[in-house]
Structure formats: C-alpha cells, structure tokens
Amino acid sequence: MSQEQSCIIHHFNHYCSLSKEEKELLLSLEETPTDIKGGSLLWGMGESANEFCTLKSGWAYSYRHLENGDRQILEVFLPGDIIGLREFAFAERLENVRMITDGVICHFPHKRLLELFRQSLTLTSVIFAISSRHQALITERLVTLARRSARQKTAHFLYEMYARLNQTNGDLKGKFRLPLSQEQLADILGLSPVHVSRTFSLLSEEGLVFRDRHNVTIPDLKALAEAGEFDACYLSDSVRPLLETSA
C-alpha cells in the first residue's frame, strides 16, 4: 500500500506533519493485513493482551457484557485507529472487541510499538496524543450516558462521529455512512432500540438529522452541535506546538 492510501498515515498526519521516514515506519504496522468479516470477534475480555492491531479498513467497537445480559458499547473504532492501546500495561484484555463491518486489520506485537518509540520522537508523541484522545472519548461518553437527554445523546454522538470521520476523509459536506444497527446505537447511548427510533424521528421532524438506512445527512452542523451541547475541545488533536518547542 502506498503512503497516500494508508489510513493510519492519514490518521497520524492529522496530528502533525510526518516525514517520509516516519510514514515508512507507520506503513510497517500494516504489513500483515487480514480480511475479517463484519460481526467477527477480534478478541474477548480476559484473553492474553500481547498485541495491538491497526484498523486498515472497516469499523469495529469495544464492549462489555453486564451481569443481567445487557451490553454496553464503549468505543467505536474507525479506519486508521489503533485498537488495544488502553491495554498496553495489562496482561489481559479489559474488554471485547468486535467488527461492525467487513474490514482489514493488521496485528503487531507490543514490542513493535516499543521499537517505534525508540525510532521516532514524533510518532511517540502522536501515539500518546491518540491514547489521551481515546481516554477523552470515554470520559465524554460517560457524561453523555449519565447526564444528557435522549435527544442530546443522539445529537452529540452523531456530531462526534461526523467530526471524527471528517478529520481523515476531508469535507463530507454534511453526509456520512453510519453502519450501526438500531440495537448497537441503543447500546452506545444507553437507550432502548425503540427510544433510539423515536429520537431519530424527533431530530428528523426538527430538520436536524435525516437518516436513510445507514446514510445520515446533517443539513445544519451548527444546529446539531447546539442540540447535543457539543464542545469539540476533546477532539482537539494537534501536537505541533509541543514538537516545535522540543525541536
């Protein structure tokens, strides 16, 4: 795969400018691609945590099952994401990870990340920034689940997904594909599938969001952000000032 086609390079390049050598190092993390079907389990909670994987294409999610059988989806992973960073310091997996769509993943061991740390200060800084951002996403999800209304939860999540996709896909012009089922959306937002359906209908009646199966259109991004009380500070993702200071 060329540097121009690599999702992980697009992802990292959004944090700071990368040299040709740094891009080559990132490409080395995509040397062992594996095709995987939607719905497939990447790993289960409690399994040995000795490797990461890059999501070369497709969508995935992490989740936990509760004692009553309910499922809580914790994080949604997009092309270019590194999955498993939170478990770097743990011997066992802390959560289950499953594919949402068909995709391509590339496994690499923990020791490969340590080698990358030794080879590039820039990539080390970006990986720490990505890890911090993952934590911020989880924190924001906690606030959403605990304190926001169904309307706010849905508006906030949709704007967040649009913003994340737009960062690596260019100008989406208010439209994107959301390959999540009603049940998956419910398990992300802490709602019932019926409540999710009603909330989408409400947002549609207000002219904020229109959904046709998995295709979402947002006519007025600012209005949707206001409806979800969205503050983009937790998606801030540039480490350029830090790197310039250390140069």
Residues 23 and 118 placed together within one structural domain of the fold: yes
Is residue 202 assigned to a domain?
A: yes
Residues 89 and 13 placed together within one structural domain of the fold: yes
Is residue 69 assigned to a domain?
A: yes
- Whether residue 243 is predicted with pLDDT greater than 80 in this model: the reply is no
> What does the pLDDT read at residue 12?
85
> What does the pLDDT read at residue 99?
98
Residues 22 and 132 placed together within one structural domain of the fold: yes
- Whether residue 216 is predicted with pLDDT greater than 90 in this model: the reply is yes
Q: Which residue has the higher pLDDT, 59 or 28?
A: 59
**AA identity, residue 72:** Q
DSSP line for 25-80: HHHGGGSSEEEE-TT-EEE-TTSB--EEEEEEES-EEEEEE-TTS-EEEEEEE-TT
Residues 129 and 218 placed together within one structural domain of the fold: no
| β 175-177/82-83 pair status | unpaired
Domain boundary among 142, 174, 209: 142
Is residue 2 assigned to a domain?
A: no
Q: How confident is the model at residue 238 (pLDDT cuts 50, 70, 90)?
A: low
Is residue 89 assigned to a domain?
A: yes
Q: How crowded is residue 89: how many other Cβ atoms within 10 Å of its Cβ?
A: 7
Which tokens is 140 given?
Answer: 């924001």
CATH number assigned to the domain comprising residue 137: 2.60.120.10
The 10s digit of each residue's pLDDT in 115-135 is 999 999 989 988 888 888 888
Q: What is the pTM of this model?
A: 0.89
Is residue 241 assigned to a domain?
A: no
The range of the structural domain enclosing residue 196 comes to 149-228
Is residue 58 assigned to a domain?
A: yes
Residues 87 and 157 placed together within one structural domain of the fold: no
Mean pLDDT of the 89-110 span: 94
CATH number assigned to the domain comprising residue 156: 1.10.10.10
The 10s digit of each residue's pLDDT in 137-182 is 889 989 999 999 999 999 999 999 999 998 877 778 899 999 999 9
Residues 23 and 85 placed together within one structural domain of the fold: yes
Residues 84 and 196 placed together within one structural domain of the fold: no
State the chain's mean pLDDT as an integer: 89
Mean pLDDT of the 176-203 span: 96
Lowest mean pLDDT among 16-30, 33-47, 178-192: 16-30
Residues 13 and 131 placed together within one structural domain of the fold: yes
Residues 17 and 134 placed together within one structural domain of the fold: yes
Domain boundary among 94, 126, 142: 142
Backbone angles phi, psi at 61, to 5 degrees: -150, 155
Mean pLDDT of the 198-222 span: 96
Domain boundary among 142, 166, 182: 142
Alpha-carbon distance of 144 to 138, in angstroms, equals 10
| β 96-99/103-109 pair status | unpaired
Residues 209 and 115 placed together within one structural domain of the fold: no
Is residue 220 assigned to a domain?
A: yes
Residues 174 and 73 placed together within one structural domain of the fold: no
Q: What percent of the chain has pLDDT over 90?
A: 61
Is residue 180 assigned to a domain?
A: yes
Residues 159 and 217 placed together within one structural domain of the fold: yes
Say how many domains are in the chain: 2
